A and B are shown apart, each in its own frame.
Chain A
């Protein structure tokens, strides 16, 4: 490569770094700075507030359940779509990706439409004293919907490339469906699977739109971390809001970093 184009490359690299710095790193840094404006003790105290603790607990619970359910569902969906050719397969692939393209607010509204007091099944649920909308189950459903595609989508390309032969070999050696999945298919796909799980977790922790619609914003009851941040900020509790935001950002960054680390490892292993 000649001199001018090398210089051009250097400029491009610098520009990319600057953009990343300005758009991605600076906001996070600013959040940290704002959180620590009155000292670390005040920030820490704001996290020990009962409503804050409740929000953290709810977020972790919802994310954990959503990740578990969507890992199982995502594995099945990816396996079905990549290892079998059946009628409607293309439609199924499109459906799996739907939550990525649909606005989360709409996802929340759908659940309200179904389970809200004025919704289709609202009356019946009310009679039987079952709370879904404006309660934890509703938040869970919204998170489930929004985070569904990630495990399936990260597994699909890998499983496609895996093919059927190893599974057929396991079958011919006497392993049943579950044992083949557990001992042959998934261990082979473990990096892709882990990556998908981490992505689901990150997405689940940070989900705002869909959850906001179905939650009802009841502090200490139905507020997740992102919702609580909004409540705090609107109530001029700047330090508390930014501390919670910093915590959220740290968790999200940790998962994303872990994921890219794994991905790097995985590329090395598969090359």
Chain B
């Protein structure tokens, strides 16, 4: 099922603060979209609005081209999974799962045998075939999460909305469950919208990411695009650790304020600019500055962490272990040729996609 949202605005009750501010978004049929952003960005509010929860809003929300407001829930074909599962404590797992079927009007309700069969099928799907008679408080967090999913899927929704569904799970279960969820999405041909504040999770499971901040959508793109061409410094920083270098563009080169950071070629107009890059994209070269490298303990993904003392501050970069110390530890320059450039919060067009500074003779360290 597809979702079209146009200039959606929602205000906080009894306040003029906008929880959503002119949000427009199209989610195509079969997509797996993650809404990401810091808490208070409006992700959950957006998800709840799509589901038809909460009060009035301005703008339009269409699901499969139709306005949902006023239509009975069972016709909306939306499955919703809450952050804290919201299972019915006094019902067994089986009754929880069959709830959506049990409350159908008599004419549309499948008979008892059919409901039992559907429950058995879903229990099989969530890999808990023997737990139909258990109560929610007898289950682990991961099991509860899967029961909540089965309950949402019982009525065969086309659109699955998940509000921080993995928030309360431990990391191993989290990883397993999100892979399983992705498989389920593909297998059942669902359209899925996932809210999360964890960008790694979003990058792993979703096709597209919608980055939100202060009730607005900052950028909506595939994961690779987001990382290669973030729309704002916020997106860059939200998607992972980022190093920031102030400077200016003059005569087709970005000149960092810090003399120990190397300049690189850009095709942008002259003026102030700020460069951002990931710690693993920075490299130390044997000339061009007076920076010092200090190895740190720890690392990440096979890379080693290195503190680089620049003129006025220290930054941490990540390097391949075998390159550690190749350029020495003193009198180094920091190559940030792979940085994204921003001016006044917007990306500077024309920053070359390939690492520049190649024309300079140098010894790479990381």
Contacts and interface: CB of A to CB of B under 8 A. Distances in A.
B78, B89, B154 — most chain A CB neighbours (10 Å): B89
A172 interface: yes
A121 interface: no
B74 A169 contact: no
Given A174-B155, A175-B103, A179-B103, A166 B73 contact: no
A247 to B, nearest CB: 36
Interface stretch (B79-87, B164-172, B189-197, B281-289): B79-87
A181 interface: no
A179 B103 CA distance: 8
A169 B147 CA distance: 13
B99 A175 contact: yes
Nearest to A170: B99
Interface residues of A, number: 17
B13 A173 contact: no
A170 B104 CA distance: 12
A165 B82 contact: yes
A174 B73 contact: yes
B78 A172 contact: yes
Nearest to A189: B90
Contacts of A174: 72-74, 100, 103-104, 155
Interface in B49-99: 51-53, 72-74, 78-80, 82, 84, 86-91, 99
Contacts of B104: 174
A183 B74 CA distance: 17
B51 A172 contact: yes
Nearest to A168: B53
B208 interface: no
Nearest to B103: A175
A166 B13 CA distance: 22
B103 A169 contact: no
A243 to B, nearest CB: 43
B146 interface: no
Given A85-B13, A165-B82, A165-B84, A171 B73 contact: yes
A123 interface: no
A57 to B, nearest CB: 37
A231 to B, nearest CB: 47
Interface in A125-175: 165-166, 168-175
Interface string A172-210: 111100010001100110100000000000000000000
Nearest to B161: A172
B216 interface: no
Q: Is the interface of B mostly helix, strand, loop or mixed?
A: loop
Contact of A169 (B13, B82, B154, B155): B82
B144 interface: no
A175 B51 CA distance: 14
B151 interface: yes
Contact of A188 (B13, B73, B90, B99): B90
Nearest to B75: A174
B51, B86, B89, B99 — most chain A CB neighbours (10 Å): B86
A183 B91 CA distance: 10
Given A165-B82, A184-B88, A190-B90, A172 B103 contact: no
A166 B86 contact: yes
Contacts of A183: 99, 103
Nearest to A184: B88
B103 A187 contact: no
Contacts of B82: 165, 168-169
Interface in A20-59: none
A59 to B, nearest CB: 34
A188 B87 CA distance: 11
Nearest to A172: B80
26 contacts: A166-B88, A168-B80, A168-B82, A168-B86, A169-B80, A169-B82, A169-B86, A169-B151, A170-B88, A170-B99, A170-B103, A171-B53, A172-B51, A172-B52, A172-B73, A173-B103, A173-B155, A174-B73, A174-B103, A174-B104, A175-B103, A183-B99, A187-B90, A188-B88, A188-B89, A190-B90
Interface of A: 85, 165-166, 168-175, 179, 183-184, 187-188, 190
Which 9 A/B pairs are nearest by Cβ-Cβ distance?
A165-B86, A173-B100, A169-B86, A174-B73, A174-B74, A175-B103, A172-B80, A187-B90, A166-B86
Interface of B: 13, 51-53, 72-74, 78-80, 82, 84, 86-91, 99-100, 103-104, 151-152, 154-155
Given A168-B53, A169-B82, A187-B90, 6 more contacts: A168-B82, A170-B99, A172-B51, A172-B52, A172-B53, A175-B99
